[in-house]
Copies of this chain bind each other. A is one copy, B any other.
Amino acid sequence: MALSHTLGVELGERSYPIYIGSGLLDQAELLIDHIQGSSVLVVTNTVVAPLYLAQVENTLKAQGIRYTCLILEDGEQHKTVASAEKIIDCLLQNRHDRQTSLIALGGGVIGDVTGFAAAIYQRGVHFIQIPTTLLSQVDSSVGGKTGVNHPLGKNMIGAFHQPKCVIADTDTLDTLPARELSAGLAEVIKYGLIHDANFFDWLEDNIDLLKTRDYEALCQAILVSCRIKAEIVSLDERESGIRAILNLGHTFGHAIEASMGYGNWLHGEAVATGMVMAADLSQRQQWIEPTVKQRTIRLLEKANLPIKSPSEMNVEKYMQAMAIDKKTLNGTIKLVLLEKLGEAIVTSEYDPALLEETLLEAQAG
């Protein structure tokens, strides 16, 4: 059996383990050790259900656990209050009491919606993440952010609710479409940019292996990404400070996602373009060398990610969408920018004229 890793997210009484490796879905004890109560609801979607639901069901059956399955539609456009309500309806109709556990089997949307439903069902029940995409394995399954979108903004409705454990089975990446693999790599590259220049170097050396889904390379990338995210989240669970650096590229990216209609651009794709814009502004501020921006663009390109703003976007659309973003503080748009490769800051102390230049450049691109 391939090596697997266990990483602890240290959050006091809300600490939890992340298991990373191959064949984990068949290791019943990983799941069973973290189930509370005698009933479970597995939430998944129409794409993931035919691939992996049976494995989870077999584990639950073998342990004699009463369970219900709910299969939602696939896609960011279903990350809504309505989907969270479907989960709650299902829990009540099947008489799950407050000792129930929810299992999120799928990508970031399933994790975020299921986590949010777990946060608000009877004021909070246990949940377990089984992320089946690279993006959710390295990002949304770590840190306890849960939530849904609103027509006026992404993730505007949500809660902090930590999972009891995360099971990242790398075998599930075998069935991941190439476009989604790339979207996950965007967040992996982000960790190098904001926190670890050596990891960025390593990614430059290993990007081809990652694209061909080399098991060892993927495992390493997921482990380092989760470790960086876990470290930052431990310092600032509720995002009152440092944690916000995890949003590098996200303010621009959210603007793209919102303006283009959720689901047309993948989250990772929008973040990739957003990171190029963040690097561009950082360079205009003369905080980073031009080579850092160039290396960022080159690595993202190699990962088959978009590095140019969609032609439909313009300065006005960016400003409008960004003004409502959560990182806006009393009207000033806070941005995550780079001070050097491997170091990011959250700041509103940039030159607005340079921001406009960055947006104009994106528009021209």
Which residues of A pack against B, CB within 8 Å? Answer: 37-38, 81, 85, 88-89, 92-93, 95, 97-99, 116, 119-124, 145, 147, 150, 152-153, 155-160, 238-239, 323-324, 326, 328-331
A-B pairs with beta carbons under 8 Å apart, 19 shown = A81-B85, A89-B150, A92-B156, A92-B324, A93-B152, A97-B324, A97-B328, A97-B331, A98-B328, A99-B329, A99-B330, A120-B158, A120-B159, A121-B157, A123-B158, A123-B238, A123-B239, A124-B160, A159-B159
Whether the pair A159, B123 counts as a contact (CB closer than 8 A) is yes
Whether the pair A160, B329 counts as a contact (CB closer than 8 A) is no
User: A152 — which chain B residues lie within 8 A by C-beta?
Assistant: 89, 92-93
User: A119 — which chain B residues lie within 8 A by C-beta?
Assistant: 159
Whether the pair A330, B97 counts as a contact (CB closer than 8 A) is yes
User: A238 — which chain B residues lie within 8 A by C-beta?
Assistant: 123-124
Whether the pair A323, B95 counts as a contact (CB closer than 8 A) is yes
Chain copies in the assembly? 2
Closest to A158 in B: B123
Q: Which 7 A-B pairs have the closest CB atoms?
A: A92-B152, A123-B158, A97-B328, A122-B326, A98-B326, A120-B157, A38-B330
Of the candidates B147, B157, B159, B330, the one whose C-beta lies within 8 Å of that of A37 is B330
User: A159 — which chain B residues lie within 8 A by C-beta?
Assistant: 119-120, 123-124, 159
18 further interface pairs, Cβ-Cβ under 8 Å (given A92-B150, A97-B331): A38-B330, A92-B153, A92-B156, A92-B324, A97-B328, A97-B330, A98-B328, A116-B120, A119-B159, A120-B159, A122-B155, A122-B158, A122-B326, A123-B145, A123-B155, A124-B159, A124-B238, A159-B159
Q: Could you say which of A124, A157, A329 has the most chain B C-beta atoms within 10 Å of its C-beta?
A: A157
